[in-house]
Amino acid sequence: MIDARASIDRDGDGTLLVRVSGDWSLETTTPAPAAAEREVKQDPPERLVFQAVDLGHWDSSLVSFLVSIAEVARGEALAVDTTGLPRGLQHLLALAAGPRRPLPPPPPHQPLPTRIGVAGIDLGEHAAGMLDFVGRASLAVKDVLIGRGHFELRDFGLLLEQTGGAALPLVAVINFLVGAVLAFLGAVQLEQFNATIYVANLVGVGTVRETGALMTGIVMAGRTGASFAAVLGTMTVNSEVDALETMNFPPMEFLVAPRILAMLLMMPLLVLYADLFGILGGYVVAVGLLDLTPALYLTQTREAMTLSDVMVGLLKAPAFGAVVALAGTYFGMNTGRTASSVGVSTTRAVVSGILLVIVVDAILTVFFYAVNL
């Protein structure tokens, strides 16, 4: 290995020559650019010329050496000639000397009414975009169901597994704990009246009518809705959605409709599964802590629940699945073209999905109460 060397010479026409030779490596000692920088500052030449003479292997140590000298020369408004260097080294120096974008100025402070107005305009634009998206997604689902749309059965099977089977452990744990909490809360109050047996009524009816469907919807919004937004957002950033359109595959039919259908099919099954584990959580608390016999608890649960109670939760399930899928796919398909946009879209999908699930739950609860269901 030949030691790295750098020489500085001046010729008669006001040119400063910086010649580099030998092997330049971060693992060895290399010349410092201080001498050349002082030469440029103390007695500025008309131009700076870099030359490679018997240059061997080199790495970023040589690039750093040359860039440091070139920046000082440009600060003195000197012309820098790199044609005497290898082509790859010329390219790296050109990149290092590329245009420096100034930092954007901080946004001006806006008064509170202005910020509220801007937020309202953004909300209105998102609402209009969401309504348009819902219409196009509905048409895509209709075309897929009647066999006129593009539909990959193999991909749909994977979506069913991702939205259904893969979510079973999380749904089970969440609803088991919620059922246990309901039993604890009910026991604290009912023990005052010596009516702990009615813990079974509270857990059974509350789970099948409300908490089973609601907690499953929230879990799916945070899990599956985020997954939809992240996958579709990444495809948008990578121009895969544009490629599908170029190949005449409508993205709404190929990407959005299968995800909506998968959620519509899986949510009722997941809610039934959640109801079982919610009741099981109450059963464990009641039998283990409240001294109720298993037969008594199960009998009381069966007598307390009616078919209409179960149907209320099952009717809520597809509505929750639809809003979660629409939120995830909408923000995924409307992701920007940067990597950070994927994170923003995923966050918005989760927040919007949870909010929509709670809003729809409130509306349906009032509706079922009004119709005596």
pLDDT(228) > 90: yes
Q: In this structure, are residues 89 and 62 in contact, taking their beta carbons and an 8 Å threshold?
A: yes
Cα–Cα distance for residue pair 106/28, rounded to 1 Å:
44
What pLDDT is attached to residue 101? 59
pLDDT(109) > 90: no
Q: What type of residue sits at position 144?
A: V
* Residue bearing tokens 């819902």: 134
Closest-CA residue to 137 (of 14, 260, 265, 262): 260
Query: Higher pLDDT residue, 362 or 11?
Result: 362
pLDDT(289) > 90: no
pLDDT-derived band at 72, boundaries 50, 70, 90: confident
| Residues 191, 195, 201, 206, Cα dihedral to 10° | -30
Is 67 exposed, middle or buried (CB count within 10 Å of its CB: 0-12, 13-18, 19+)?
Answer: middle
pLDDT(111) > 90: no
pLDDT-derived band at 332, boundaries 50, 70, 90: very high
pLDDT(104) > 70: no
Question: What integer is the mean pLDDT of 272-279?
Answer: 96
Q: Which of 5-14, 209-218, 310-319, 324-333 has the lowest mean pLDDT?
A: 5-14
The CB-based long-range contact list for 93-99 (8 Å cut-off, 24+ gap) reads 93/50, 93/63, 93/66, 93/67, 96/63, 96/67, 96/70, 97/67, 97/70, 97/71
What pLDDT is attached to residue 308? 92
Question: What integer is the mean pLDDT of 247-265?
Answer: 90
Query: Higher pLDDT residue, 200 or 123?
Result: 200
- Percent of the chain whose predicted confidence (pLDDT) is above 90: 49
What pLDDT is attached to residue 100? 56
Report CA-CA distances (Å) from 267 to 97, 164, 192, 212, 220: 57, 8, 38, 11, 9
pLDDT-derived band at 34, boundaries 50, 70, 90: confident
Give the global pTM.
0.70
User: pLDDT tens, 141-196?
Assistant: 998 888 887 777 888 888 999 898 899 999 999 999 999 999 999 988 888 888 88
User: What are the structural domains, with CATH classification, of the chain?
Assistant: 5-96 (3.30.750.24), 119-370 (no CATH)
Cα–Cα distance for residue pair 61/212, rounded to 1 Å:
62
What pLDDT is attached to residue 339? 79
pLDDT-derived band at 35, boundaries 50, 70, 90: confident
pLDDT-derived band at 103, boundaries 50, 70, 90: low
Highest-confidence range of 80-89, 131-140, 242-251, by mean pLDDT?
Answer: 131-140
